[in-house]
Structure 1
């Protein structure tokens, strides 16, 4: 039996950077994403550059049995997941009632349901072995309500709260849970979320995805329950703690909108 790091949403952005960081450290990988072509390319790159084994599994985690399929695949191959990185997720800038329901449902299924099920299945195995680490990707969006991105902000608040609670529950078990909360980061997120011209990405300095992944790696290795990354994240966290909630949601609306015009 070989021990592995399982990373969801590994075909690009922060997920791919997590794969690189763990490969550099000598960890074998199981990479999960929708695009088989991208996963094949990443597998070749990482195995060529690092002395690691890379398994790939292409699947859409929004489908009802997807997480169970991934879990069963790993069991069939007699692989052991020591570290789970729940990175897969997406957002969309649109008024909730003007958006298509299937998009909103997919967001819930990916950002929340898949993450929770992954954590439950692999977390139980970790607890039995008395060792494991889970990294859940939250966001600066966790600190406030987000008009025009209502479900995305709510999903990241859920991830932060869930991760904090689980971290406390698992103290003394050998299993740690880390919520990684980056600010705006240079990935394809803004393009996929229709936020190319948002003030968040056009007026503020974005973080490098690999730097975010390294920060998450280091925090998990130290057993930290929360890792904030980026100056904007620290500032926004302070604002939302020190001022009425309406200040945070109005600021979020301005930052997320086109050039801050709302």
Structure 2
């Protein structure tokens, strides 16, 4: 049974492109009003115009860099003041840079944790009291299969996504019985501009092209999970199965898949 999103309010971060952009479309089709956040003012403005021309919904854009905790606080104070009810928060914003650890830059490491982890936690902290007061809400955190199965050149990025998973699991237990659901979504490689920064040479994309999934598919699966008690969604299924196998037999999986996971 679909959760009724008509006239509900959904916050989506990283909304200007990729999975985030498609999620805005998916919830708008279902009648939800959205608060969209990203760093690109122009892209947000275009998305607002496109969505409001096609659907009878309201879209409110906010330009925000999640790595700026002061900006997160100011923005969400404004959101809390102007929107009495927030039904869904989708923490989608994030980025990665693939480097062997001995070559990784400290500023890149810091930036990934600031955006992927601390920024996500900060805005969740700003919205959570409202959801608890309402007695309902759904927090959906977009993590990654990489958070379960780290590979060479993604040790730092995988660490940030492992942190998202750990945070989500602990928060879910804290909120049990309080009406607020917590779901994590773990996609494998997705055909988005994520890899323009993560893999500028294109080697990884070329090697895993056959397994890459479409952002529309991920967005649809995320939106279909709204309102449901889904602990976790792994996309595609076989990568989720591989991650579970790795948790049970890590040495075996590293040996068996060593050649494949070194394709970055």
Q: Same fold (TM over 0.5)?
A: yes
In the other structure, the counterpart of 1:36 is 41
Over 3 Å counting, the alpha-carbon distance change for 1:203 and 1:18 in structure 2 is closer
Distance in 2, matches of 1:108 and 1:148, equals 16
SS of residue matched to 2:192: coil
For normalisation by structure 1, the TM-score amounts to: 0.90
Distance in 1, matches of 2:244 and 2:218, equals 20
In the other structure, the counterpart of 1:99 is 104
Match of 2:157 among 152, 162, 177: 152
SS of residue matched to 2:157: helix
Q: Structure 1: state its 5+ residue gaps.
A: none
Distance in 2, matches of 1:251 and 1:147, equals 12
Match of 1:238 among 224, 241, 244: 244
Distance in 2, matches of 1:77 and 1:256, equals 48
For residues 188-239 of structure 1, give each alpha carbon's deviation from its aligned partner in whole angstroms, at most 9, with x where no partner exists.
1122201622168534321111111111122232121111120342232233
SS of residue matched to 2:46: helix
Distance in 2, matches of 1:226 and 1:242, equals 18
Q: After TM superposition, give the deviation of residue 257 of structure 1 in Å.
A: 3.3
Q: After TM superposition, give the deviation of residue 168 of structure 1 in Å.
A: 2.2
Question: Given the alignment of the two structures, is residue 162 of structure 1 paired with residue 167 of structure 2, yes or no?
Answer: yes
Distance in 1, matches of 2:77 and 2:256, equals 44
SS of residue matched to 2:95: coil
Distance in 2, matches of 1:233 and 1:110, equals 25
- Say what the alpha-carbon RMSD is for the aligned residues: 2.2
Contact in 1 for aligned 2:95/2:194 (Cα 8 Å): yes
Contact in 2 for aligned 1:147/1:253 (Cα 8 Å): no
In the other structure, the counterpart of 2:3 is none
Question: Given the alignment of the two structures, is residue 197 of structure 1 paired with residue 203 of structure 2, yes or no?
Answer: yes
Contact in 2 for aligned 1:145/1:249 (Cα 8 Å): no
Contact in 1 for aligned 2:67/2:114 (Cα 8 Å): yes
Over 3 Å counting, the alpha-carbon distance change for 1:244 and 1:155 in structure 2 is same
Over 3 Å counting, the alpha-carbon distance change for 1:249 and 1:62 in structure 2 is farther
Question: Given the alignment of the two structures, is residue 73 of structure 1 paired with residue 62 of structure 2, yes or no?
Answer: no
Match of 1:180 among 176, 185, 207: 185
Q: Structure 2: state its 5+ residue gaps.
A: 1-6
SS of residue matched to 1:204: helix
Contact in 2 for aligned 1:184/1:200 (Cα 8 Å): no
Match of 2:212 among 199, 206, 217: 206
In the other structure, the counterpart of 2:19 is 14
For normalisation by structure 2, the TM-score amounts to: 0.89
